Amino acid sequence: MGIFAKIAAGEIPSYKCAENDEFYAFLDINPLVKGHTLVIPRREVDYIFDMEDDELARFEVFAKKVAVAIKAAFPCVKVGQAVLGLEVPHAHIHLIPMQSEKDMNFANPKLSLSAEEMKEIADKIYKEFSK
């Protein structure tokens, strides 16, 4: 099992932001901004555009709900969405609360947050998602 499948299965710890039977959302460990979240399918699939239409549609609808929760927890202009997948071969959507387009630059230095701060951020998003 790959690292993200293990995270979704709870075998590797993560800062949980949202979940349902099929999908899981957790904080990116090297965030561009506070609230930078990854959304993944629990099942192992590398390339997002290899997903069947129905699954991809449900994935995006789940990501939308997570984005709404992120925006409520971390007021921003909009939540940006990006798909790279160059590092981890398990489909994932980056959701990033943006104040400006600069926040979407993956070449920016990453934030270094304490475990306590990461948990606080994730809990805030989870609370909004669960409303």
Residues that bind ligand AMP in the complex, under the rule CB under 6 A: 3, 14, 28-30, 38, 84-88, 92
CB of 79 to ligand AMP, least distance (A): 16
SS (H, E, C) 37-57: EEEEECCCCCCHHHCCHHHHH
Nearer to ligand AMP, 87 or 101 (CB): 87
Nearer to ligand AMP, 54 or 74 (CB): 74
CB of 72 to ligand AMP, least distance (A): 22
CB of 83 to ligand AMP, least distance (A): 7
Question: Hey, what are 91's tokens?
Answer: 């489909």
Residue 36 falls in the annotated catalytic set:
no
First-last CA distance in the chain = 32
Nearer to ligand AMP, 92 or 124 (CB): 92
Active-site hit among 36, 90, 92, 94: 92
Which residues have a catalytic role annotated?
92
